[in-house]
Structure 1
Amino acid sequence: MINTEGAGLSRRTLFGAAATAAAATMTTGATASAAPRHAGDPRVTELTADQAWRKLVAGNDRFVAGHQKHPHESLAWRESLVNGQHPFAVILSCADSRVPPELVFDEGLGDLFVIRAAGEVLDTAVIGSIEYAVEHLGVPLIVVLGHASCGAVSATIDVVNGDAEVSGDISTLVRSVEPAVRATAPNSDPAAFLAACVAEQARRSAGILRERSNIVSDAVAHHGVKVFSATYELATGKVTKL
């Protein structure tokens, strides 16, 4: 049972005990690559990254089957979150209105720390938001979630092929997705090529996050945090890890 108290933790509070344990382990010659991040602090989730993923999969299975539980929507639960939050996963997903993570994973208030940007494009605000969830809320899992028929990726394909032009800040978005499109092997089937580009964009965003964020890379290397990429199928509602 996750405690409902606030989770406004400093980096020292969140990681200090883990660092001490790591140092002690290293002096004995053993590896310390998976030291606990929160050192038993009751204000953060007790789930590991793998347990958090299994929880997401179970919720998505319910969503696919139409057997949702719609958890954590009651008045009492909402009131319990007034003083703080304790999400068990970060979801970076596309802004597409057809892919709301809380519904896709059948979770409720306070369960997921959701950041949405077209094409799962990373900017400083997106990365900073993820870092906050990892460092101050003790979230063990980050999922970058692409989806079938992504408009941002489709538009980028058209621009790369010379079939369209974009203006305004949409051009910035397209430039951010363009490397994924150019890195994807050509395919004579447009639908298959789009799907491959969507998967590549999710994978690339997950990789760029680890490269650009010292906080995330440190948490992955030393504190058991994991970064997964996945795709969502509009027709079935199924999420598949890449």
Structure 2
Amino acid sequence: MAWTRAILYSVLSSYLWHPSNAEYVWPDEQIDELERLLFEQDSPFDPPGGNIASFVAGCTGFAGGPGGSGGRSFGAEWLRNAYHDMSTADVSAGTGGLDASIVFEMDRPENVGQAFSESLNFLGAAYTTRSSMSDMFAMGAVMAVGQCSKGNIIIPFRAGRVDATGPGPSGVPQPQEDLATHTATFAKQGFDVSEMITLVACGHTIGGVHGVDFPEIVPNPPNTGVSISLLKPFEKRLIKPVPSN
């Protein structure tokens, strides 16, 4: 439940279908386009790259084409992309959130790695005047959770986000920061301690850690062409024996 709430915040920060809106009357170009992307996942009428759901197959849908690319998966990258994008949120001030501002923030140390540029490349194929980039980032998170949970967690998709026109403030906690700093940063974004732990633990369990980007956390195996150390090496460095009384 906490995992669902954590992702829900990043996905449901704004929406199109609202009780105060006029009743839907078919056809509606914007709503119909978003429904097509979300539900018509095997449509023969999709433009090249328009069938974004086909890139995620459970937790083993690999980025980089058939056979994968060093263990990287679209589902994990799309979740990471959604969180890093919404990490600009300040719930007290009512600012930031999932608004595609990460497009302007990829040069920041907190956004190291290829996940963000590749998420933009693939999800951007579905970007139109009727589907904002931030809505595509949200849809990617919805698809990642649905596929990785084998349909057990279905997040209601809400749309209508307006894309940012510039960068937002930094907000992603860094590995070297202490617990108090992490807790304060996540609280600013609207997460309690339980949700913080769930988001960090589940997010990295799905995707692992890129050794090429974080060599201080996990080693990058030499001469293998593999750029990621997956869950087991990461767990070994996180889990320490509890001293007996």
Fold shared, TM-score > 0.5 on shorter chain: no
State the TM-score, normalizing by the size of structure 2: 0.31
Higher strand fraction: Structure 1 or Structure 2?
A: 1
State the TM-score, normalizing by the size of structure 1: 0.32
- The structure number with the bigger radius of gyration is 1
